[in-house]
């Protein structure tokens, strides 16, 4: 089976490819000749995932899946949420976003947060969604060299390390994207 993963984020592509069985071949947007920015104009994480999957199906004709992820911080009323990638501005810079988050939480003792991923699958003209959530806390400073985005400041529940300090395999097992993709893979295997 070949299916498009509607992302330009090579880190996400690497994470997800590691979770998908070898008989499912992931095609990137580059593989199908899609070089434009896929729209993400919805007000919810689920809305953005659906919008991206539908855009690829409508404009390129491929069955595909897309994800959208947000970091929801309790003390910030769920922010940055759907705006996680652009939290510090349109340049979508992970360091800028993380620094802004740490500044906004500077003296706040409530560090609870959760990562939420929604995967939207367009398959044979039907839409399916899968949601993964990973709860944890925001650290007071960056730790670790792995991962991407907010990983250096997100410490999952029952862990003493951040996502940037644990292996990709461990992150895929306990993380938000991993949980959503596991549901996606189980669905595709039973399809």
Whole-angstrom distance, CA of residue 122 vs CA of residue 64: 5
**Of residues 67, 68, 137, 151, which has the active-site annotation?**
68
Q: What is the pLDDT of residues 23-69, one digit of tens each?
A: 898 999 999 999 998 999 999 999 999 999 999 999 999 999 999 99
63 carries an active-site annotation: no
Q: With contact defined as beta carbons under 8 Å apart, do 56 and 24 qualify?
A: no
pTM of the model: 0.91
CATH fold for domain 2-190: Maf protein (3.90.950)
């Amino acid at each position: 089976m070949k299916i498009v993963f509607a992302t330009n984020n090579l880190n996400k592509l690497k994470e997800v490819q590691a979770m998908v069985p070898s008989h499912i071949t992931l095609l990137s947007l580059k593989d199908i000749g899609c070089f434009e920015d896929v729209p993400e104009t919805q007000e919810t994480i689920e809305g953005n995932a659906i919008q991206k999957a539908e855009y690829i199906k409508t404009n390129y004709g491929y069955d595909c899946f897309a994800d959208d992820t947000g970091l929801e911080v309790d003390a910030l009323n769920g922010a940055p949420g759907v705006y996680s990638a652009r939290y510090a501005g349109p340049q979508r810079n992970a360091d800028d976003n993380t620094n802004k988050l740490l500044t906004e939480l500077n003296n706040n003792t409530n560090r609870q947060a959760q990562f939420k991923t929604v995967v939207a699958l367009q398959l044979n003209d039907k839409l399916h969604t899968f949601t993964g959530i990973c709860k944890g806390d925001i650290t007071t400073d960056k730790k670790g060299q792995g991962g991407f985005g907010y990983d250096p400041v997100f410490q999952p529940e029952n862990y003493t390390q951040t996502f940037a300090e644990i292996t990709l395999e461990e992150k895929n097992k306990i993380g938000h994207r991993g949980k959503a993709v596991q549901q996606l893979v189980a669905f595709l295997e039973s399809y």
